[in-house]
Amino acid sequence: MTKPTTGQRVALITGGAQGIGRAIAERFLKGSVAVVIADRNRSKGRRAASELSRWGDVRFLPLDVSSESQVRTGIDDVIRRHGRLDVLVNNAGIVTPGTGFDFKRWKEIVAVNLTGPFLCSKYAERPLRRSRGSIVNIASTRALMSEPGTQAYSASKGGLVALTHSLAVTMGPAVRVNCISPGWIDTRNSRLRPADHQQHPAGRVGLPRDIAELAWFLASPEAGFITGQNYVADGGMTKKMIYEE
Ligand X SMILES: NC(=O)c1ccc[n+]([C@@H]2O[C@H](COP(=O)([O-])OP(=O)(O)OC[C@H]3O[C@@H](n4cnc5c(N)ncnc54)[C@H](O)[C@@H]3O)[C@@H](O)[C@H]2O)c1
Which positions touch ligand X (CB under 6 A)? 14-15, 17-21, 39-41, 44, 63-66, 91-95, 112, 116, 138, 140, 182, 184-185, 187
Q: Residue 60 in contact with residue 45, Cβ under 8 Å? A: yes
Q: How far is CA 104 from CA 25, 99, 127, 241, in A?
A: 31, 10, 34, 34
CA distance 134 to 176: 5
CA distance 17 to 26: 11
What is the CB-side half-sphere exposure of residue 170 using CA atoms within 13 A?
A: 14
Minimum CB separation of residue 94 from ligand X in Å reads: 6
Minimum CB separation of residue 91 from ligand X in Å reads: 5
Q: Which of 123, 153, 231, 243 is catalytic?
A: 153
CA distance 43 to 48: 9
Q: How far is CA 239 from CA 176, 233, 242, in A?
A: 27, 11, 9
Minimum CB separation of residue 23 from ligand X in Å reads: 8
CA distance 41 to 140: 22
Minimum CB separation of residue 65 from ligand X in Å reads: 4
Q: String of b and e for 59-73 (b: at least 16 CB within 10 Å)? A: bbbebbbbbeebbee
Q: Please identify, using beta-carbon distances, which residue of 66 and 227 lies nearer to ligand X.
A: 66
Q: Please identify, using beta-carbon distances, which residue of 20 and 34 lies nearer to ligand X.
A: 20
Minimum CB separation of residue 190 from ligand X in Å reads: 10
Helix H or strand E encompassing 190: none
Q: Confirm whether 153 is a catalytic residue.
A: yes
Q: Please identify, using beta-carbon distances, which residue of 8 and 41 lies nearer to ligand X.
A: 41
Q: Please identify, using beta-carbon distances, which residue of 82 and 142 lies nearer to ligand X.
A: 142
CA distance 218 to 224: 8
Q: Please identify, using beta-carbon distances, which residue of 46 and 130 lies nearer to ligand X.
A: 46
Which amino acids are annotated catalytic?
A: 153
